[in-house]
Structure 1
Amino acid sequence: MGKKINPILFRLKKNTVYHSLWYTFKKNFCYYLKCDILIREIIRRNFLFINLSYIDIIISNKLTINLYINNVDQFNIIENYLDVFVFQISKILKKNVILNFVFNHVLNAKNIAYNVVNQILNKNSIKKIIKEELLKNRKNFGCKIQISGRLEGVDIARKEWSLIGRIPLHTIKYNLEYYQCETLTQYGILGIKIWLFKKNNEK
């Protein structure tokens, strides 16, 4: 087996950007890192039913959080819970919190994974799910979807994957997105991996 590297980590500062923007001295680094991870977990837990593309955390004199949303209607769902959420976050770093919502209409790998998870929970056929999502994203240069686990309740775990176009993993200059997640089903946990090869000017 070859050793794999995360395609996003492989392209940092070339085609991808950091989503944690803060700097501190060595003695405080561990504390800030734990806070960063904890804030992201709280966001995912509170906004579980919302498709967030990216989460930017900027720590300076204030704590700035940018949440990238694909659909404007999703903001109306969480509007009533924002005060409680901001209060919960402010207790972690004891800083003033600025919460920004950015409406990002460009499709990314996380959006595809979100759609795949919803269809799996609706108990659709795995092959049909992969085929439909690939056809939706045929305008991109390439897309690969892989689902692994006890697919459709079989006794032995297996992988089901399909590819449209091409996925150049070793060419750093190309804009390649990657996302992996898990979903709990009646028969156990299924792992989902998405690779998306987009045009260089798309973010």
Structure 2
Amino acid sequence: MGQKVNPISFRLQVHKNWSSRWFSSNKRDFAKWLVEDARVRELIEAKFASRPTINLIEVERSANLITVTIHTAKAGVVIGRGGAGVTELKKDIEKITSLPVRINIEEVKRPELAAKLVAENIARQLERRANFRRAVKMAAQNAMNAGAKGIRIEVAGRLNGAEMSRREKVIEGSVPLHTLRADIDFHTARALGPNGTGIIGVKVWVYKGERSDV
């Protein structure tokens, strides 16, 4: 069953938290705010889609303010020269939200341990026709060198332009999916195969060790 459950949602309220944190007592407000959150995330992801820099986008709502926290591997790219990037991003977000917006930028210290960044980096390499084995093994080795206790990477599709689609995986260290104390980061990404060879899916699990505060 561990393979069928998202490892992050499986650990919610154990030591993981929701990426959107707010409460609505009104059904109409709930639907409206949910759509707003989705559009805010799509806007930020699209703005920095050229290279994988965004790891997590958190949204918190109060009575008169929306706080958007962006966890990124390259804070300078998001902030821009003299803060121009954040100012422009704030204006774009406020066009689709119902309240004023405050943006916080937090830098990811070790991007090799962020499953989203690892998955998107592999996907971008596959789109540039890199050998999938080399891309996957390099990503796994970089994660282990950065301090991961274990990493599991799966790629599926017409790998290297093959006629038949298949699934390949690489596992380094241990990845205990059933242990709730285990701090596991998970994400998926898609790569468009070259010459119309379809979509290649990438899944990444990164095990960072057991949490002692659980």
State if a TM-score over 0.5 links the two structures: yes
1:2, CA displacement in angstroms?
A: 8.7
Distance 1:135 1:164 in 2: 8
Gaps of 5+ in 1: none
Gaps of 5+ in 2: none
Is 1:193 the equivalent of 2:203? yes
Structure 1 vs Structure 2: percent identity of aligned residues? 27
Q: Which residue of 2 aligns with 1:164?
A: 172
Distance 1:200 1:191 in 2: 28
Question: SS state of the match for residue 87, structure 1?
Answer: helix
CA separation of 1:8/1:97 partners in 2, compared to 1, >3 Å: closer, same or farther? same
Structure 1 stretch displaced more, 25-34 or 193-202? 193-202
Q: Which residue of 1 aligns with 2:61?
A: 59
Equivalent residues of 1:68, 1:101 under 8 A apart? yes
Question: SS state of the match for residue 33, structure 2?
Answer: helix
Q: Which residue of 2 aligns with 1:68?
A: 71
1:199, CA displacement in angstroms?
A: 2.4
Deviation sequence 1:102-142 (CA, Å, 0-9, x none): 11213311121132123213322111111111111223211
Deviation sequence 1:136-187 (CA, Å, 0-9, x none): 1223211001111111111111111110111111111110111011121222
1:3, CA displacement in angstroms?
A: 7.3
Question: SS state of the match for residue 14, structure 1?
Answer: coil
Structure 1 stretch displaced more, 34-43 or 110-119? 110-119
CA separation of 1:52/1:2 partners in 2, compared to 1, >3 Å: closer, same or farther? closer
Q: Which residue of 2 aligns with 1:18?
A: 18
Question: SS state of the match for residue 138, structure 2?
Answer: helix
Equivalent residues of 1:71, 1:105 under 8 A apart? no
1:20-39 pair list within 5 angstroms: 20-27=20-27, 28-39=29-40
Output the TM-score relative to the length of structure 2.
0.86
Is 1:94 the equivalent of 2:104? no
Give me the CA root mean square deviation.
2.2
Q: Which residue of 2 aligns with 1:132?
A: 138
1:77, CA displacement in angstroms?
A: 4.9
CA separation of 1:161/1:191 partners in 2, compared to 1, >3 Å: closer, same or farther? same
Counterpart residue type for residue 59 of structure 1: R
Distance 1:119 1:63 in 2: 35
Is 1:48 the equivalent of 2:60? no
Question: SS state of the match for residue 92, structure 1?
Answer: coil
